[in-house]
Chains A and B, each alone.
Chain A
């Protein structure tokens, strides 16, 4: 199972047929493993990594650190849930260190993102403070370098 996960983590578009050939098992076995992993929510989803900067669509990403007062009996989870339900919120992590939650937000303009923070996040009862930083350039995400110049420069044949 771990092999299937490793292969899909690298490239989720790989066909069951090719995964089967890489692992020396049958296509049916691969399909079975994947469906099992999906059912158990080990494979949580499949996405495509897009460099929107290369398109006409304007996208602004922001990274927001939040300090939180945990709710009695509910801890941080309930607050996190109230935050991640917003579709603009792309990522929510509980963090160690000076802040409690790290939140990634996507919007069309800086103003839109700033207003979302001011109107939705900051006023929440349990939110003590917010600190917003805007993403200026993405170099690498999910282990993939956006402008990779490491081409194959090997000779065609060497012994």
Chain B
């Protein structure tokens, strides 16, 4: 008998499995479950994008592309950033097309982290930063953002956690799971702390196109002096409803992108070719599709936030992504208990805040990537549940 446990990489073994796997499986088996648990758009990819993918297949575009991705796609990425945010990246040396934003996150950390280097991770946040840091031999240093700060990273919190081992700061905004955004003045304050240091920033802006109430997303690299230290990560999954196509990109200083491309070349070769052709169409001609989806998310955002507040739960006003993060702490249950019982008793699946870090305790994440009618039904069930437990 092979002792598999003994054979395996100790760091990988040490990474805790997703604690709510059992909960996922339970939800997946339930018949009439209404889920607000999904982290992807309900919209199907706009037809013109799908059509472009199909057309590329018809034309026989079924081979590898350049390691960094089709040059035409990198040029379109550059043109898109210039058009939307007035920032320039060189398609030949500063852009890498990856398998989703997640690959780009992994590559950036692997490229920069030496054993013992510290990575600052604001939480609650998406689940991959910590394990990716650990696999690279780095040490995750968690910064717990607070509801009273609108889940934004404050310069004081940042300053407090910086040591001479700090290598990378992760900026996960607009944020999954809280829906928090970082307006320009908050980014300026963070930039002020970083100036004069060698700390690099991984700015995960995958939800950048989904920001509401008129405030426009500000890429961190557009802040004075930050371009040289920032790897901007974005992708097609959320804005263009292309999760299954697995396509993202990283933009940053040429030397870093070059080394990221090296790892990508050996691990992946090149990102899926069909997806790359489809993505060219997305960037070229789908601004309006994105605007229509964004507008629809905004309707649902107001609808669901209002729903939670009306049932007496305090709900921080989410300004980006497609999640709300209501506080359930007053009901005498942990987030895990709340979610388990809600699933059992009302057949509604939501995600405990603790899935996104310890500071998510007392909160649940609800996605509004669902029709208003589905959200309405889910809210009715949650309200009945909350009422029952508030009376106890």
Which A residues are within 8 Å of any B CB, using their own CB?
3, 6-7, 14, 18, 21-24, 150, 152, 154-159
Note all chain B residues with C-beta closer than 8 A to A24. 302, 306
- CA separation between A3 and B295, bound complex, in Å? 9
CB-based nearest B residue for A14: B372
CB-based nearest B residue for A15: B376
- CA separation between A3 and B300, bound complex, in Å? 13
Q: Decide: B39 and A158 in contact? CB cutoff 8 A.
A: yes
Q: Please tell me which one of the listed residues A23, A150, A156 contacts residue B37 in the complex, with CB atoms under 8 A apart.
A: A156
Interface stretch among B27-35, B93-101, B220-228? B27-35
Q: Decide: B44 and A18 in contact? CB cutoff 8 A.
A: no
Note all chain B residues with C-beta closer than 8 A to A159. 18, 39, 126-127, 176, 351, 355-356
> A22-B299, A23-B299 in contact; A157/B349 too (CB < 8 A)?
yes
CB 8 Å contact bits of B105-141 with A (1 = contact, 0 = none): 0000000000000000000001100000000000000
Asked if B303 is at the interface (CB within 8 A of a chain A CB), the reply is yes
Q: Decide: B38 and A157 in contact? CB cutoff 8 A.
A: yes
Q: Give 8 nearest A-B pairs by CB, closest first.
A: A157-B37, A22-B299, A24-B302, A158-B39, A21-B303, A156-B27, A156-B35, A156-B28
Note all chain B residues with C-beta closer than 8 A to A23. 299, 302
- CA separation between A64 and B304, bound complex, in Å? 47
Note all chain A residues with C-beta closer than 8 A to B356. 159
Note all chain B residues with C-beta closer than 8 A to A7. 299
Note all chain A residues with C-beta closer than 8 A to B302. 21-24
Q: Please tell me which one of the listed residues A6, A18, A155 contacts residue B28 in the complex, with CB atoms under 8 A apart.
A: A155
CB distance from B367 to the nearest CB of A (A): 9
Asked if B144 is at the interface (CB within 8 A of a chain A CB), the reply is no
Note all chain A residues with C-beta closer than 8 A to B38. 154-158
